[in-house]
A and B are shown apart, each in its own frame.
Chain A
Amino acid sequence: MTDLRHAIRDGNEACADVAYRLNEVCAIYPITPSSGMAELADQWSSEGRCNIWGGVPDVIEMQSEAGAAGTVHGALQGGALATTFTASQGLLLMIPNMYRIAGELTSAVFHVAARSLATHALSIFGDHQDVMAARSTGFAFLSSGSVQEAHDMALIAQSATLKSRVPFVHFFDGFRTSHEYNRIQLLSDDDLRALIDDRHMIAHRQRALNPDRPFVRGTAQNPDVCFQSREAVNRFYAAVPSIVQSTMDQFAELTGRHYRLFDYFGAADAERVLILMGSGCEAVRETVEYMVRNGEPVGAVQVRLFRPFSAEHLLASLPPSVRSIAVLDRTKEPGAGGEPLYKDVVTALAEASMRSGVSIPGGVVSLPRVTGGRYGLSSKEFTPAMIRAVFDELQKPQPKNSFTVGIHDDVTHSSLPVSPDFQIESDDVFRAVFYGLGADGTVGANRNTIKIIGEDAGLHAQAYFVYDSKKSGSRTVSHLRFGEKPIRSTYLISSAQFVGCHQFGFIDTIDVLSIAAQGAVFLLNSPHSADQVWDELPLEVQQQIIDRQLQFYTIDASRVARETGLTNRTNTVMQTCFFAISGVLPQDEAIRRIKYSIRQTYAKKGEQTVMQNFAAVDATIRNLHRVTVPGKVTATKRRRPVVPAEAPEFVRKVTGAMIAGTGDLLPVSSFPVDGTFPSGTSRWEKRSISAFVPLWDPELCIQCGNCGFICPHGVIRSRLYHQEKLDDAPSGFLSAPVDARGFPETRYTLQVYADDCTGCALCEEVCPVTGLEETRRRAINMVPKEQILESTRRNTEFFETLPLTPRGQVDFSSVRGTQFLEPLFEFSGACAGCGETPYLKAISQLFGDRLMVANATGCSSIFGGNLPTTPWSVNSEGRGPAWSNSLFEDNAEFGLGMRIAADRHLAEARRLVLQLRALLGDELVEGLVSADQRTEADIRRQRLRVSEMRQRIAREDHPAARLLLSIADHLVRRSVWLVGGDGWAYDIGSAGVDHVLASGRNVNLLVLDTEVYSNTGGQASKATPRGAVAKFAAAGKQAEKKDLALQAVSYGSVYVARVAIGANPQQTLDALREAEAYDGPSLVIAYSHCIAHGINMLHALDQQSRAVHSGYWPLMRFHPEAKARGEHPFILDSVRPELALEQFTSQELRFRLLQQANPDNSERIMQEAQQAVSRRWKMYEDLAGL
C-alpha cells in the first residue's frame, strides 16, 4: 500500500511544496536550476491550490530577477508573506533589494538552487558562488544538503524569519539537490501550521505600510545618523542563531528529524574534522561513517546556518579531540586569503583562542590547525575518494592550504592527490546506470521506475540524470540507486550492478561499460539478434564483457515497441527489461507494478493506449534474451575515435577528451586562462545522430538555394567549379550543369554533410520542385543514412577540396546567390529543425568575415557557445565571427560597447593613417580613410589596402606605426550584431534594448523570437501571444504580445524589420542586408519556430506561412532613410490576411491547450486575439499608407 507520508521528489519540488504553502505572493523569473520551483508555484496557483491559511497564493512572473525582488519587496511592505525562487545571476540581480529588505528587518525567505556565476564562462551547474556573493546583504543563510532537508529547511527558514524578522536565503545545491530525486517524508499542512505561529504573521502584517496608520520607511539619511541607525539591527541578528536552533528543536519534536546549526557527525574522539555545507555533507557523512567503522578518528561538521555565523555554536559542535580541520568551500574568491567559510571558521577559532588562550570554550583544548580548500565548483563531482584525500592530507605535518580537490592542478599545484580506487558503496544498495537519448524516453522511464520502487514498493530510491549539452540527439545518463536505507550518495555511480545501453550506436562511441561492476548485468538494446549481437560489438566492449564476467542481455526494443504500436518510444520496453532482469523486485511483482503504473499514467489516454503498453510489457519478456558470451574476444574493429587525427592539437587533446566524456581528467594546464577558445570546433565532432539524411537529386534540382538557406545546421553546401575538377572526383560524386547563363564549363554540386545532419527534413519540406512521375519526390529527399553514408563521406571530403566562389562574384541579393557563401555558423547542437539558427547562419554567410556578435544568454548562447564544440567558425583566410556572451540582461549594452570600441579604434586608426601619410603615400591614405565599403568588392579592396599598409609600416620603428598596427583591422568595416531571444529583448534586456536603439549607433539587433523562454523550458515572456499556454502562463497568456517593432519604429531613426524566413526567405535576406547597411541602429525581429510551440517541427515552415498569411506575423520593414529618397518608410511585405487566426493557432499545442487550461474563457480569449490581429493589420496598413 502506498505510504502517503513518503514520496519521491526532487529538491526543487520538495522546497517549493513548503514555500508555496507558506506564502501569499510568489514573484518569479526563470533561471536554471531554480526554474522548477517557480513553475510548480505557478502551476499550483493556476490549479487553485491553497496555502495553509486557505488562500491561493498570487504568482506573478516578472521581467527579471531584479523585478521579482522588487515585487517581493513591495509585497512584503504591503504586509503579504512573499517569496521568490532563484539562482546564480538571478540572485545577483536581487542583491540591491536584498539589502533593502534586510535593512528594513522584513520577514521573507528567498529559496535558492545555488549555482555558479558567469566568470570566464557561464555554467548552469551547482556551487555556492551565488550565495557567497549575496552573503553581505544582511539576509540569514540556511543551507540544505539533501532533498529531505530542502523540504524541512524551507519550513524552518520561514518559521525563523517570522520570529526573528531577519530575512533568510534558504539554499541547496543546484542540480545535485535541486534535480536529484529521492524518497522523502512529506510535511503536512498541520506540520507547517505547527511551526508557523499566526501571531508572527499578524505582526508582520502590522508592520506593513498602511494609510490608516501611516509612517515613512525608506528615508534618506545623512552622516549624522545613518551609521547609528544601521547598527540598530544588531540585536536581531544576535538572536537569530538561538531562534533557528529552537525552531529546529521544535521541528524535531514534530517530525523526529533533528537538525543543529552546526551538525557534527563522526567519531567522538575525532582528530581530523571537515567543515562544509550543502550536498557534499551527505557524501562526507557516508565516508566518515565508513572510515570510523575502519577505526579512523575522523568527523565532520555540517554547517546549516551560515549567516549569522555563530562561532559559539560552531565551537560547541567540535569534538575536543580535534587536531586539524579542513574547511571546504564550494566557491572561489580569487585574490582572497581564503574562501568565506574557511575564513569564518578561522576567525571563530582564532577569536576564541585570543579570548581564552589555548583553551577554547566549547571543549576544544588547543587551537587546531585549519586549512581551507575548494571543491565541487560547477557541479564537479565530490566523491568519497576526494573526501578521503582531504582527510589524508590532514594527517600530514604541514597539510596543504588553499587546496583544491577533484581536479588536477598542474599549474599552481593546489590539488590533492585522489586515489580512484577508494570506493565505499555498500552492496546493500543496488546501483544502475542507463545510457539513452533525450528522445527515447529513458529519463522519463527511470523517473517512473524510482517512483514505482520508492513510493509503491517502499524502498529508498535516488535518481540523478546527466545530460550532454546538445539540444538535438542529446545523450542522457541516468544514475539510479535503490536500498533499504536512506541513500546519501550525492555523487555519480562509478560501479554499477546494472548497465543499460538503450542506444546501440553508443557502444561504438562511448565507453558505456567502464562503470560496470564485476558480474554486473549488461542490457543492450540492439537491432541484432541474440546470436548475432556479439559479432557487432567493438573489441573493447567484448573485452570488458569477458573481463568483468558480465551477464549480457539483449532485446530489439525498437521492434517490440513498433510491433505493439508504441512507435519509437522504447521506454516501456527497456523499463520492463530492467525490472525483469535486475532483481530489484521479484519479477512478477515488478511486472504487476509496471502495469499498475501504466494504467495510472495512460488511463486518461484511453484503454487502447493502456493495452498497447501492456502488450509491450508482455512482448518484452518474450523478446528479452541472454547472450552467450564466448570465452575470448572475436572482434577486430575498435571503437571510433571521437575526433579525427587531422584535427588541431587542442581539439584532439582537450576537445576530444570532453567529447569522449573524460573532461574531468584534463589538468588545469590544458585550459586557456581567460575563457578564450578556438572557433569552429563543431566541424570536428561528427555526431552522426540522424538515421535519415537528405540525398540530392541533380536532375530535378533547379539550384534555387532554398534548402541550404533554411538548413538550421549548415549541412547543405553549394559550390560552382570548373568541370575539369571532376577529373579527381570519387565515383558517384554528384554534379549538374549550372542552371544559369554565363557559366560555361561550370558544374554545380549541392553537398550534404551527412554526419552533421540532425534529420529535421526542412530541406525536403522547403524544396519547391516535385518529381514529374512521382510528385512526392523533391530535388532533395530524406533517405536512410546507412544507404549512402560511406559514399557521402567520400563525396564530402572531395567537395571540401573544390574552390569556393569568390565573395565578390556572389549575388548577395538573392537566396539563390547566398548558397555560394560559406556558412561560418555550422553544425550547432541546436534542436533538429531549430527556427533560430537559419538566421544566424545567414548573417554568418553575409557578413561573417567582419562580424562581431554579442549574444544574450539563452538558447543561442548555449548552442552557440557551450563546450565541448562550438559552431561559430572561420573561413579559409582564418577570418570569421568574433563571438561573445556577457549576460542575459546586458546584451544590448554589451554589443553597443563593442560598437563604440570599433568606432573609436576606427577613428584612431584613421587619425594615425593620416599622421603617417608621408610613409604611406596619398593614394593609399585616401583609400584607407575614405573608400566606400558598401559592397563586398569594396571591402575586398579595403582589405588589400590594409594589407599593403601593414607591409609598408611593419618594419617602421615609429610609435604611430606600432599603434596603427594594433588597430589596423578596424579600417575594414565591422558588422556588429546583438543577438538574443525574446526573453532578452522583450523582458530582461528591454531597457537596454530601448536605450541602444535610441543611441543612434550602428548596431544590428537580431531578436530570435520564439515567443517564449525556450532555453529554460518554455516560460512565458512578453513576446508570448495572447491565448498561448506556457509555463508561468499555465492558464493561457491573457495580455497581448508586445509590438516591439512599433516601439522601435516610433523613434523614426531605427531600421526595423519583422521577418519569417520560412514564409518569405527573400524578405528575410533583404531585411538582414538593409539592416546591416544602415548606418544606425537596426532591429530585426525574426519569427523562430520552436519545439516549445508544440508543433511538429517538420511542418514548421508551413506554420511560419500560416503565421504570416493569417496576419499574426505581418512582415514589414521600416527604413528611416526612405523618406529622404522619396519612398514610403514603412513597407508592409505581407499580403492582406487570407487565413483566419484559428487556422494558424489550431496547429499548435500551445494554443490548443488553452481550452484545457482555461475552458471558461478560451473562446473569448481567442476571439479577442483575432480582433487584435485584425486591428493591428488595419493599423499597419495605415502606417504603410495603403
Chain B
Amino acid sequence: MSKDDSLVDVLQRSGVSRRGFLKFCALTASAMALSPAMVPRIAAALEQARRPSVIWMSFQECTGCTESLTRSHSATIENLIFNAISLDYHHTLQAASGEAAEAAREAAMEENWGKYLLVVDGSIPVGNPGFSTIAGISNKDMLLETARGAAAIVAVGTCSAYGGLPHAAPNPTGAVSVADLVTDKPIVNVPGCPPIPVVISGVLTHYLTFGEIPELDELGRPMAFYGQNIHDRCYRRPFYERGQFAETFDDEGAKKGWCLFKLGCKGPVTYNACATVKWNQGTSFPIESGHGCLGCSEPDFWDMGGFYEALSTPLPGFNEAIAYGTAAGAVAGLASGVLASRVKKRAKDQHQTVSVDDLEKGESS
C-alpha cells in the first residue's frame, strides 16, 4: 500500500462495492456517533481521505488500551480503519525493536512533519524521569519531542488523559497526563480503563475523515461519545426512578435487575458510551453483567471513595455528617497515635529489671 492511496482505493482493492462503501460509511457514522444524516458527507470526505501516518507511544500503561483495540473477535469496522491508516510506530505491535524502532519513529516524524497523528497511552512520570524510559529516552522527553511535529494528539486511556492508576494517591512516580505537559497542540482525551474500542477507532476515523478533531467537552473528551452519562442511558434507569434498588449483590432486587446505585454504581457521574455502544461486539456492559460502573472514564476515579460505596444516600445532610465524622476520626487517629507512644513510654518507665529470682510466680500486687 502506498501512502498516497485514498481510503476508497484501499477498500476497492479489498473487493468492496459501492453499496459496501455506503454500508461502511453508515457504520463509520455510527462509530463516530454522528447522525446517519451525515453519511453522504462522510462518503464525500472519505473519497478524498489520504492514509495518515500515526505514531503510537506507550508510557506508564498496562497495554490494556492496545488490547482493547486489537482484540476484536472478528473483522469489524475497527480492522478496516486500521487497514486505512499507516501505523508507523507502536512499540507493542511493531516487529522492529531497539534502534531500528526508534529509527522508524524518527523517519515517520521527518517525512510527515506537522501532519502525523500522535496517539499516546499511559501516563508520564515527572517525579523521576528514570521511572519509565524507552531506548534510554525518558517518557517526558520522547513525548515533547514527538508532539512538536504532530498535527494533533489523541490521549487514549485514563492514564494518558488524566494520569489514571499511576496518578492515584500517593502517586509515587509523579505521573501526569499528556495535557499536563503539552499545551500547544490539539489534544483529544479518550479516557476509559480501557476505552471502548469503537470509541478509539471512532476518534481516529473522525480525524481521518474530516482532518480535524471532533467537538470536545470541558475535559477534552469527544462530545459524541462522552456527551451523556451512563446513568441517563442505562437500561436500569427506570428502576432508579421507581426507587427499586439492589441492596446486596445476591438479594431479590439484584436478581430482578434493579438499579445498582446503592451498591456503589458511579453511572450518574460517569460520562461514557458503555450503555449504548456496549462491550465485546455489543454483548453487554458492566451494569448489564450485574456490577456497578466504576467511573473509569472520569479523572481520579481511583480516589473517588470506594467502588462499592454509594455516591450518596437519600438521608439529607448525611454527607456533611460523614465529613464531620471523618474529621473527628482524623483527630481521634492522631490522638490515638499520641496515646500509643505514651503507653509505650509509660511501660518503659515502669520496667522493673527481671532477675532469675523474679521468674517464679508471686501474688499480683
The finding on whether chains A and B are genuine partners in a shared complex, rather than unrelated, reads: no
Instruction: Identify the A interface with B (CB < 8 A).
Output: none
Instruction: Identify the B interface with A (CB < 8 A).
Output: none
